[in-house]
Structure 1
Amino acid sequence: MNRKTVVRPPAFVEKQTEDTLLGRAKRYVRQKDYVAALQMLGNGGHDPEVKNARGVCLLRMGRYTEALQFYRGMLLRSGCIVMRPELPTYLKANYATALLLIGQTEGCVQTLTEANDDKSPIVMRLNQNLKRWEKGLTLGQWLLFKFGALHSPHALVPIDFLPGVFEDGLIEELPAGAASPGGVQ
């Protein structure tokens, strides 16, 4: 019997393994079992999509500060305050979401501006939430916000979707009757 052995390059095998890992983790996320997904993802691998799945889990578990630090490590070069331009919008939007959910509204606005992708559904949705929140501010609060001096609890912007998006950019709506995410921890 003549058998052929197919040898795959290491990059293909690694990608295949990460795709399988990502697929299984997303199944847990769809079931709202973020702890299991996070445990499965471990340190996140090397693939940005796998790493992003870890950040999405942190956001959806309400671990906003940890998610912020996680995305900051992905998006900003060491010692820099400018985001890496080559990274996709969904990563920048998740970083902006983390900023928003800990009350760093000005940082969120700046991140969305720097992402420079007004056609992205998640960027549009975040901007809609910001505009709705801004309309509810008193004149004094609005002035403080515009000058970067508005702080918690007035700077907490409620969002009307589950925080965190994957590479497909699909936005998950909040379940009926669910409380809006937001708040400093």
Structure 2
Amino acid sequence: MTTNSKLDRVRELLDQNRPEEAFRLLDHHVEETPEVRNARAVCLLRLGRLSDAVSILRDITFRGYMNMPDDTPLRFQLNFATAMLMMNFKDAAMTVMDRLELEEDPQADQLRNAIERWKKSLGPIARLCCRIGLYPKRPVTLDAPPGRV
């Protein structure tokens, strides 16, 4: 099975809410491309293994640099921001989302909408704190299954 057909099968399994099967399918994949690693991270996000997912996403988004390179694929950046939100590391997630503010993408729109709803649910002092980068501990609720392959 080629990498693209395997990733298509992983997408199908994830669409059917079968992340464990998708993850096992990737375990039998020899070629560890960034796309395959991203798919593995999405499976881990959906399985609730957030630290494992973040470890992979950090490697494929930052690629050893201190800052995220400009040529990092959008879906990797969005998956990293999603993972950061799920782990309640809002400062990291907001930094990525600020960087992507002009991007038109359904996943980016979903994350922006979730963040906006979360901000509107906060009291006035908490909203003011958000403006200066101090985020309350209350988690951001996502509307859709996390991550995109």
**TM-score, normalized by the shorter chain, greater than 0.5:** yes
Match of 2:48 in 1: 62
Residue of structure 1 aligned with 2:9, choices 18, 24, 27: 24
Which structure 1 residue ranges, 5 or more long, are not aligned? Answer: 1-15, 167-185
Which deviates more from structure 2 when the two are superposed, residues 123-132 or residues 18-27? 18-27
For 1:172, the equivalent position in structure 2 comes to none
CA distance in 1, matches of 2:55, 2:136: 20
In 2: Cα distance, 1:117 partner to 1:57 partner: 27
Which of 20, 34, 37 does residue 51 from structure 1 map onto? 37
Q: Deviations over 1:12-33 (max 9, x none)?
A: xxxx621232233233223322
Q: Does 1:146 align with 2:128?
A: no
Determine the C-alpha separation between the residues in 2 that align with 1:125 and 1:30: 17
Equivalent of 2:76 in 77, 91, 94: 91
Offset of residue 99 of structure 1: 0.6
**TM-score (norm: length of structure 1):** 0.71
Q: Report if the CA contact (8 A) 1:117-1:123 is conserved.
A: no
1:161 matched to 2:144: yes
Residue 118 of structure 1 and its aligned partner are, at CA, apart by: 2.5
Q: Give the AA of the match of 1:136.
A: S
Q: Which has the higher contact order (CA 8 A, sep 6+)?
A: 2
- Secondary structure (helix, strand or coil) at the match of 1:165 reads coil
Aligned with residue 133 of structure 1, among 105, 110, 118: 118
Q: What's the C-alpha RMSD, in Å, of the aligned pairs? A: 2.1
Q: Which residue of 2 aligns with 1:169?
A: none
> AA paired with 2:55?
Q
Measured after TM superposition, the shift of residue 146 of structure 1 is: 2.8
**Unaligned 5+ residue runs, structure 2?**
none
State the Cα distance separating 1:117 from its structure 2 match. Answer: 4.2
Segment drifting more, 21-30 vs 97-106:
21-30
Sort the Cα spacing of 1:122 and 1:116 in 2 relative to 1 into closer, same or farther, 3 A: same
My pick for the range that moved more, 91-100 or 17-26, is 17-26
Alpha-carbon displacement from aligned partner over 1:36-87 (angstroms, at most 9, x marks no partner): 2112212863333222211111111122222122100111132x33112212
Q: Please tell me whether residue 102 in structure 1 is matched to residue 80 in structure 2.
A: no
State the secondary structure of the residue aligned to 1:62.
coil
Return the index of the structure with the highest Cα Rg. 1
Contact 2:38/2:56, CA 8 A, preserved across alignment: no
Aligned: 1:121 with 2:101: no
- TM superposition shift of 1:116: 5.2
Percent identity, please.
28
| Alpha-carbon distance change, 116 to 139 in structure 1, aligned in 2, over 3 angstroms | closer
Higher helix proportion (structure 1 or 2): 2
